[in-house]
Structure 1
Amino acid sequence: MSDSSWLTKFPQMERADLLAIRKTLDNAYRGFSREYGEAIEGFFEPLLQFLIGFEKLLLTTPWWIVLLTMTVLVYGVARSWKLCVAVVVSMLLIGYFGMWEDTMRTMSIIVVCTFIAIALGIPIGIIMARSNRGQQIITPILDVMQTMPAFVYLIPVVMLLGIGRIPGVIAVVIYAIPPVIRLTNLGIRLVDKEVMEASTAYGASPWQRLTGVQLPLAMPTIMAGINQTIMMALSMVVVASMIGVKGLGQPVLKSITNQYFTMGLLNGLAIVALAIIFDRASQAYAKRTQQHLGNKHS
């Protein structure tokens, strides 16, 4: 076969091989979802019940109690009356424009996704910080998770679990978890080696060094990771609405398909308001933590 004829047939050969590989992988995943789909759904059933219960709690509780609780929590975290006033004003405006229920649904899923991301992300970040080999293995996975288009996450999750809250939670967590992992790893690695040597000299065990020295000193960096995780989770709200996650994302999606400018703008601003509240509260807590550590070690 001459070089020119080989080059002419190469695209056809490539398409045939690629088609065969795609068919094999698609069939394998379909078989996996049929075989283990129900078992995986059963595994996530407690999480689904908790999410439904938490959402019902926010929806059935009188609005003024929810608002008062949010204000108290924000003040406890941030110690800022200005931020508390912003919370009250923004939530009253959200209620006035008829977006209270959707906001509560969005808040419930964001809170659950954030706690899941923290519960999974901080231990993985600790593993990366304690093992260079672990960092080499996990870092490329995080690179893929952060660069993969958000819509792509929905395909395997929906094929496996269908439409609903749990697929949305999984997609949001996958999209939002990399920052807390990366910054936990970074924060622990940036702890001064002399401090670690001093704690070892005093006879501290590895667990005591981790919980008593590394994590407290790395907390401002970890909080920055949590902050970014919350922001990414909120940015995924509209995408998750495509697979049945109720909340502020669904009116935005509806406004796109029906060209309802005002609906999309108001719900988008409600998402922005939640983002600002979470962002300012987490940043204020990180600054307070840093000041506390500074005073403690001064």
Structure 2
Amino acid sequence: MDWFSSFPHMDDDRLRLLKKSIDDGFRTFTRAYGDGIEALFSPLQSFLIWSERLLTQTPWPIVLVAIGLIAWVASRSLRITLGAVATLLLIGYLDMWMDTMRTVSMIFVCTVIAIAVGIPIGIAMARSDRLRGVVNPVLDVMQTMPSFVYLIPVVMLLGIGRVPGVIAVVIYAIPPMIRLTDLGIRLVDRDTLEAADAFGSSSWQKLWKVQMPLALPTIMAGINQTIMMALAMVVIASMIGVQGLGQPVLKAIANQYFTLGVFNGLAIVGIAIIFDRVSQAYGRRLQKHREVVHG
């Protein structure tokens, strides 16, 4: 006996009709508002082009020195700085510099957008349990939804290109930014907040002068996780026209080019390690500073 045949389910014709009506509705919406939505994202397109040109057209020694300086200022670790520079030199030696710079520019733009959108939402969640109850299930869905699924509505609305790729990456990578901002603010010691109240601080002053500085190490952990998730999405985003290290990997999969895939995959890993080590070291420095100030 087929036990599943007795399971209650929607009639096939009704199910087909439901799917067709949803698809037709989305197509109608796309035709009606697609151009307007695309125009809305033109500043993002300009930002992407500027970021990519900055990294790809600047002479490589200047970019190398700049990244080395950023790594040193953030980490104050000679080992991490030399590791970052050596990794980039190896990437350049293996002729992957331009693709790497395109990937770094995309990750930079995605991270800036995630910070600009995620931190205000995290702050609002920390201030309202009701909003947190609404947003948390949405974040759960965003984190568990297969990454390929994000590409479908974005491509239908905006077509193939860098902007839809960036939007898909941001949607995939932003949940840790929101969650850890909310968590960091909620973990601020109550006694510290009561002291701020005793000094007559307004809620705005309390947020920017007490809660945000104390939550900064946790927020930095959120930025770190957002960067890692954005890098994990690089290969998938290349399917809709995002240039960078993901496209050679995709080409290697299609044509069975083993070395091309491995080298570009290792370049993505190298960039991920640089971002991870530098941001973690900066987060630890912030944590130590907080312990010194409040210890």
Common topology (TM > 0.5):
yes
Q: Following the alignment from structure 2 to structure 1, what is the Cα–Cα distance between the partners of residues 10 and 288?
A: 64
Distance of aligned partners of 1:255 and 1:201 in 2 relative to their CA distance in 1, 3 Å threshold: same
Please name the residue that 1:186 is paired with. 183
Name the amino acid aligned to 1:259: Q
2:136 to 134, 139, 142: 139
Mapped to 2, the partners of 1:249 and 1:119 lie a distance apart of: 25
Counterpart residue number, 1:219: 216
2:67 aligned with 1:70: yes
| CA deviation vs aligned residue, 1:132-161 (integer Å, no higher than 9, x gap) | 000000000000000000000000000000
Matched, 1:102 2:60: no
- Summarize the Cα distance change of 1:12–1:119 in structure 2 as closer, same or farther, 3 Å threshold: closer
Q: Where do residues 1-298 of structure 1 align in structure 2 (5 Å cutoff)?
A: 13-298=10-295
**Aligned-pair distance for 1:30?**
0.5
Q: Structure 1 stretch 48-57 or stretch 269-278: which is displaced more?
A: 48-57
- What secondary structure is seen at the aligned counterpart in 2 of 1:54? helix
Distance 2:294 2:200 in 1: 19
Is there any run of 5+ residues in structure 1 with no aligned partner, and where? 1-6
1:4 aligned residue = none
TM-score, normalising length from structure 1?
Answer: 0.95
Which segment drifts farther, 48-57 or 94-103? 48-57
Partners of 1:13 and 1:87 in 2: CA distance: 56
Q: Which amino acid aligns with 1:27?
A: D
> Structure 1 10/87 Cα, relative in aligned 2: closer, same or farther at 3 Å?
closer
C-alpha separation in 1, matches of 2:31 and 2:8: 34
Deviations 1:96-119 (A, max 9, x none): 111000000000000000010011
**Which amino acid in the other structure matches residue 207 of structure 1?**
W
Relative to structure 1, is the Cα distance of residues 12 and 229 closer, same or farther in structure 2, using a 3 angstrom cutoff? closer
Q: Separation in 2 of the partners of 1:69 and 1:250?
A: 26
**SS where residue 159 of structure 1 aligns?**
helix
Partners of 1:12 and 1:291 in 2: how far apart? 58
Identity %: 63
User: Offset at 1:211?
Assistant: 0.6
Instruction: Summarize the Cα distance change of 1:190–1:10 in structure 2 as closer, same or farther, 3 Å threshold.
Output: closer
Say which SS state the counterpart of residue 11 (structure 2) adopts: helix
**Matched position secondary structure for 1:109:** helix
Superposition deviation, residue 83 in structure 1: 1.0
Instruction: Give CA-to-partner distance per residue, 1:233-253, whole Å, 9 cap, x none.
Output: 000000000000000000001
Instruction: Using the TM superposition, name which of 78-87 and 173-182 deviates more.
Output: 78-87
Residue 15 of structure 1, CA deviation: 2.0
Q: How big is each residue's C-alpha offset from its partner over 1:26-54, in whole Å with a ceiling of 9 and x where there is no partner?
A: 11111111111111111111110121122
The CA deviation at 1:297 is: 1.6
User: Using the alignment, how far apart are the partners of 2:11 and 2:132 within structure 1?
Assistant: 35
Please state whether the residue corresponding to 2:41 is helix, strand or coil. helix
- 1:169 and 1:143 mapped to 2: Cα distance? 20
| Matches of 1:282 and 1:275, distance apart in 2 | 11
Structure 1's 228 and 8: CA in aligned 2 closer, same or farther, altered over 3 A? closer
Aligned-pair CA distance for 1:14: 2.7
| CA–CA separation in structure 1 for the residues paired with 2:54 and 2:226 | 24
Q: Return the alpha-carbon distance in structure 1 between the equivalents of residues 164 and 104 of structure 2.
A: 17
CA RMSD of aligned residues (A): 1.4
Structure 2 unaligned segments of length 5 or more: list them: none
The number of aligned residues is 292
TM (norm. structure 2) is 0.96
CA distance in 2, matches of 1:13, 1:292: 60
Distance 1:68 1:89 in 2: 12
